[in-house]
A and B are shown apart, each in its own frame.
Chain A
Amino acid sequence: MQSIFADVGFGHFLALGAVLFAIGVAGVLLRKNVLIIMMSIELMLNAANLTILTFARMHGDLGGHSFAMIVMAVAAAEVAVGLAIVVAIFRGRRHVDVDRLNLLKH
């Protein structure tokens, strides 16, 4: 028990990233509210960022930090456009339920 708390390594960070990613995937798979799905996507992006920063630390390379910055910027852009689409969809259909957003199917 002592050692578990005393001895935390990069692997733990990476594993945490993996778990976070898996939770994000589960969110996208299971929920039907578009907003929740988008938040889950943000979770996955953050998991990726965590992994990137861990590797940057492991290899002593600051490039990872720059890359994480870029990921954040892209995530912000994605959220802006995604939420705009959600608003537009909601305006037309009064719901944001992916189970019922199946226009392409027909």
Chain B
Amino acid sequence: MDTIKFLWVVPFLPLCGAFLNLVLGKRLSRQTVHFVAVAAVAAAFFTSLYLVVGPLREGYAAWKANGKTGAFELTEYLWTWISAGDLHIDLAFRLDPLSSVMILIVTGCSTLIHIYSTGYMEHEPRYAAYFGYLNLFTGAMLILVLGANMPVMFIGWEGVGLCSFLLIGFWFENEAYATAGRKAFVVNRIGDFAFLLGMFLLWWATHGVDGGKSLDFSMLRHVGETNAAVYEQVFWGRERLAAAAGILLFIGACGKSAQLPLYVWLPDAMAGPTPVSALIHAATMVTAGVYMVARLSFLFAASTTAMAVVATVGALTALVAAFMAFAQTDLKKVLAYSTVSQLGFMFVGVGTGNWSAGVFHLMTHAFFKAGLFLGAGSVMHGMEGSGDIRIMGGLKRFMPKTRWTFLIYCLAIAGVPLTAGFFSKDEILAGAWASHHDGWPAFYGKLLWGVLTVAALGTAFYMWRLYFLVFEGEYRGADHVAHPHESPANMTVPLMILAGLALVAGFVGIPHVIHVGGTAGDILHFFPEWIGLSTKPMELHLSNGTTYVLLAVASAVGLAGIGLAYAFYGKGPSKTVDQLTAGPLHGLYEASKHKLWVDEFYDRAFVRPFRALARGTFEIADRFLIDTVVVNGAGFAVQTFSRISRWVQNGMVQRYLVGVVLGTAAIFLWTARSEHPTFSYKEVPGGIEFRAEPGHGLRSDTPVQWDFDGDGQPDPGETAQVVVKRPGDVASRVTLFMADPVWGKRDRDGKPKNLTRVTRKVQLATPAAGSDGGGR
């Protein structure tokens, strides 16, 4: 494990930009604000580019020269963050193939979207806050992907959640937008809670064997490889720990990456500015869950249950979200459901052990979905902010650059051959077809493949429906916006760059069956090999023939979806569609339009009971306990007490002095209490011990005399302060005489006039033998 320097600069630069813009932003000019923001992110991009092609490549060469021993990764230790008992967490970053891809995607997309935002948010009053949040988000996301252990990753995990909340509710003057932000936050918290539990569980399992690197990814992997029993501890019945931890972590991923059943926040998150949707809710943050599963590949691979859960949830999400996208009429809502669906594809990829395919799709999706959102933003910019596709149509005449780039993205997402989406989606489909894990039914991989294929068909259909409705046909919005216009260059240039990437990005990971040798082959087969260095290797068993067939099916499905969309919507909304939705497909249409009533169901099942509970606790805890008992009670108590104390605190100095005098007297009275001399007695071996206790202020040489025979006169010779007598020699009443200069009477020469006498009845636990106590 080698070290790397200056990795911390990558997240630090955007955080600096965020600091500047959030703290000083109000005093900076708009030019300064976006210059700072864009420069910070661009600098982060070039720094990460340098780190990848420089130190990382050299490290790779060195690692290969060393015979590929151990894991290939570079880490940078900054300082010890938490050290408490067995828990020892460093603030450390790591750069390895997986995170190198992630930081390039994050900083690259982020740079383009920052530039785009300078045009899109031109008229925004809170310009600096917007760019500050965006920078903060980029920094947090970089911490997430660079963190060398789970707690550091969790910093970024929570940081991106915060920025997501801030940016969704960026226009919080609108009540609905603020609510959407809150919804995203709450739903994410549910996932984060499970994520935390998963983290705790992992630490609980490994804290004895981690060698002082708690929850470090390398350590977790190393422990899993050398000490597999750690992940196989019995946790619930016969289930392994890996399953429990994996499922808990995956619930966290469900929240962050909008999977069933926690996807509901993402469509609402479209309330935020469109570039935010492109950056956070398409390209980067929502893919954090996929990244996390790929990062912990060794953990998920240890449990087929966890893998099955991930793959099944991903496939169902892909299908359900695609279905919901059919009938949406808002431009961004369609894209939101599309994102949910595509994330489902990625989770099937990582859930079938096809890690590199999941990450590959993550990358290509980042390009074309960010592009789609930016294109949608460009359209809305031209349409004066409206995103209703019912009033669009024929926009290709008004905004040609946006149209052509949008077309390319739609080709890519539909999986038309040779585009980026084609290669990555095919990888996932092929992996699903071929996957067979211990304990899975034999047909399970095929089932997943089937579900995904249907979802892919749906994807192609709804995306091209969107394209046709927006750009083709007649312009239907003349009543609303007379003259749609093309966007300025700072918005269209990022669109074109992303379109270029959406076209060519797939060529770094073409299927292995199309074997190419030499340097070209190194590039064309680069991606799976590269990601494979960071993940647990998992073989796919596919014959060449099957692969070709699957490729053909995928291409056909994509083209079929496009054809279907053209048939229905090629010339804008058609009567055929209206007849179908009103007639035989009415039920399905309603279901899609109302998003399968999931929100309504959640409202009934969770939100309303919770509200009722909250209202109940409000009435009981707030209204009654706090308002009535505590607040009014405190007031009442203070009033009562003050009414009493007013008698004392009366502003009359003389009465205060009365208090002083009384206090002094009380002190004297109290100290006088124990001053009287006395004596104690107890049984000791050989008799009874009598001990004179002269009280306060007397000296140890005070002369004393005793009367043991009970005649009331001092016995001659008994002058010691401590006397031991045999029980038989002691009467039932003993008297102590002592010269007491304080309490005793004395003559003027200081000689005791009368001795102080103390008489006590002597009672012993065991009856004193021979004593005449009975009579007295």
Which of A's residues lie within 8 Å of B, judged by CB? 3, 7, 25, 28-29, 37, 98-99, 101-106
Contacts and interface: CB of A to CB of B under 8 A. Distances in A.
A7 B652 contact: no
Interface string B730-754: 0000000000000000001000000
Nearest to B651: A105
15 contacts: A7-B748, A28-B657, A29-B654, A29-B657, A29-B661, A98-B652, A98-B653, A98-B654, A101-B653, A102-B650, A102-B651, A102-B652, A104-B651, A105-B651, A105-B652
Nearest to B664: A25
Contacts of A29: 654, 657-658, 661
A37 B656 CA distance: 14
A78 B658 CA distance: 22
Interface secondary structure of A, over-half rule: helix
Interface string B531-570: 0000000000000000000000000000000000000000
B196 to A, nearest CB: 57
Given A37-B653, A105-B651, A106-B651, 4 more contacts: A28-B657, A98-B654, A101-B653, A102-B652
Contacts of A101: 653
Interface string B644-664: 000000111110011001000
B652 A3 contact: no
A86 to B, nearest CB: 13
Where chain B touches its partner, the secondary structure class is helix
Contacts of B653: 37, 98, 101
Contacts of A104: 651
Interface residues of B, number: 9
Which 5 A-B pairs rank lowest in CB-CB distance, beginning with the nearest? A105-B651, A104-B651, A102-B651, A29-B654, A28-B657
A20 to B, nearest CB: 16
A102 B652 CA distance: 6
B654 A3 contact: no
Interface string B620-650: 0000000000000000000000000000001
A37 B657 CA distance: 12
Contacts of A3: 748
Given A3-B748, A7-B748, A25 B657 contact: yes
Contacts of A7: 748
A56 B653 CA distance: 33
A28 B659 CA distance: 13
Contacts of B658: 29
B657 A99 contact: no
Interface in B649-703: 650-654, 657-658, 661
A28 B650 CA distance: 17
B474 to A, nearest CB: 84
B748 A99 contact: no
Contact of B661 (A25, A99, A102, A105): A25
A29 B654 CA distance: 5
Contacts of B748: 3, 7
A23 B652 CA distance: 20
A74 to B, nearest CB: 19
Nearest to A105: B651
Contacts of A106: 651
Nearest to B661: A25
